[in-house]
Amino acid sequence: MGIIVQKYGGTSVATPERVKNVAKRIVKTKNEGNRVVVVVSAPGDETDDLISLANQITDSPDEREMDVLLACGEQKSIALMTIAIKALGYDAISFTGPQVGIVTDDVHGKARIVKVGSEKIEKALNLDKIVIVAGFQGMDTDMDITTLGRGGSDLSAVAIASALNADVCELYKDVDGIMTANPKVCPDATLLPRITYEEMLELASAGAQVVNARSIEYAQNYNVPMRVRSSFNDNPGTLVVKEAKEMEKLFVTGITYNKDESKISVLGIKDTPGMAAIIFSAVALENVNIDMIVQDVSEDGITNISFTVPTGEVKKTVKALESVKDKVGIKKILTDDSITKVSAVGVGMKSHSGVAAMMFEALAEAGVNIDMITTSEIKISCVIAQKDCETAVRALHAKFNLGKK
Ligand code: ASP
Ligand code: MG
């Protein structure tokens, strides 16, 4: 009998009524002859609510204790889901992340998985139980509770699917699958029946919030078959695959954006070897994820560097910069949270030239000014003013002909 791992996000388990509906879907999967493991997120806005509780006490709560607090959300969901399945007359059991042996490093708030146990789950499956596991949480080697970063339940599901050698990891969302753009911005966005891990990863790290970026990376590394679909209907959703030939014919597969980034400019740096290394080592020590980096042409032995970081990490970053201020001769640190990054992604870029030119053309035609640019093999990103975000996304979606035909 095959194993199916299903993951349900917060929206799908937000109310007792929805928990009951999801329980029915789980039981149906079981009745189709599968062994079923389910990973759930905290209900609705629970995680945000817990964060806000701590922030009402202090604006820099202790990171270890935040993990103890945030892990409560998922624990609520596993118990309620198991209660719902049992009420339908089926046998089920709930486990926390630590209970099933999700071992992580000790970086609280965004811990990395180092090992996933399978014994406890397999034992329960062998007793014909449906297994419900709390997403987002694990424990470090000190047996302290850790969390895997926002949206981390997807990663829990993929890691568990990999450890169990599951047939598929189904990520249930409140959308039909992966779309060519956010349908709230582009009403003519279309559903992608297939997408490559590579593209998914670029879309996710460029701001598409449908699937957690680290979970895609994990699925790609361990070759976990993954399907993104809706928990509100029976549509097949989007299958994530290694390669999809038909997509290479397209210039671009999807457009996405990220409003949650800020630009930091470091002015007046001595233009001598080693300065960038000092700056970015200091920032790395704070575990900040840097995205784009641009260094100006230097003048009179002085230069400026600008880069983008998640807006939530600006404070930490500035603190790190202050600590090397004298060493590097920094004159001024500027921060700007009114930016947005828009990106076009597609494996087709590997075989088509001129995609960047088309992108700049579309933005120019829409009257959108470009501040910073980066490219990878399958992605082009531009930093623009946040007020232009929707205009830019719509212009790019149209330029690359991604709307409903
Ligand atoms: N509950 C966590 C969050 O809101 C994890 C998740 O939903 O995947 O980020
Ligand atoms: Mg610890």
Q: What is the pLDDT of residues 151-182, one digit of tens each?
A: 999 999 999 999 999 999 999 998 899 999 99
- Asked if residue 54 is part of any domain, the answer here is yes
Q: Supply the mean pLDDT for the chain.
A: 95
**CATH number (domain holding residue 15):** 3.40.1160.10
Answer whether 68's CB lies under 8 Å from 146's CB.
Answer: no
Cα 298 from Cα 287, distance rounded (Å) = 28
What's the confidence (pLDDT) of residue 245? 72
Residue span of the structural domain in which 36 resides = 3-174
| Mean pLDDT, range 70-92, rounded to an integer | 98
- Asked if residue 297 is part of any domain, the answer here is no
- Order the strands of the 293-295 sheet from edge to edge: 293-295, 302-310, 261-270, 332-336
What's the confidence (pLDDT) of residue 247? 67
Q: Which of 13, 47, 50, 76 to mutate to test the pocket of ligand 1 (most atoms within 8 A of CB)?
A: 47
- Asked if residue 230 is part of any domain, the answer here is no
- Asked if residue 268 is part of any domain, the answer here is no
What's the confidence (pLDDT) of residue 289? 87
Domain count, the chain: 1
What does the pLDDT look like over 203-225, one tens digit per residue? 988 877 789 989 999 999 999 99
Cα 328 from Cα 230, distance rounded (Å) = 51
Task: Categorize the per-residue pLDDT at 49 as very low, low, confident or very high, splitting at 50, 70 and 90.
Answer: very high
Q: Which ligand is nearest to the CA of 108?
A: 2
- Asked if residue 105 is part of any domain, the answer here is yes
Query: Hey, whose CA ends up nearest to atom 6 of ligand 1?
Result: 151
Dihedral angle of Cα 98, 102, 103, 106, to the nearest 10 degrees:
-70
- Asked if residue 249 is part of any domain, the answer here is no
Cα 384 from Cα 339, distance rounded (Å) = 6
What's the confidence (pLDDT) of residue 381? 95
Measured from CB, residues less than 6 Å from any atom of ligand 1 are: 9-10, 41-42, 47, 73, 135-136, 150-153
What does the pLDDT look like over 308-334, one tens digit per residue? 999 999 999 999 999 999 999 999 999
* pLDDT surpassing 90 at residue 351: no
| Mean pLDDT, range 70-99, rounded to an integer | 98
Q: Which ligand is nearest to the CA of 11?
A: 1
Tally of residues, the chain: 405
| Mean pLDDT, range 88-110, rounded to an integer | 97
| Mean pLDDT, range 82-93, rounded to an integer | 98
> Which is higher by pLDDT, 297 or 21?
21
What's the confidence (pLDDT) of residue 169? 97
* pLDDT surpassing 90 at residue 296: no
- Asked if residue 402 is part of any domain, the answer here is no
% of the chain residues with pLDDT over 70: 99
Query: Hey, whose CA ends up nearest to atom 5 of ligand 1?
Result: 151
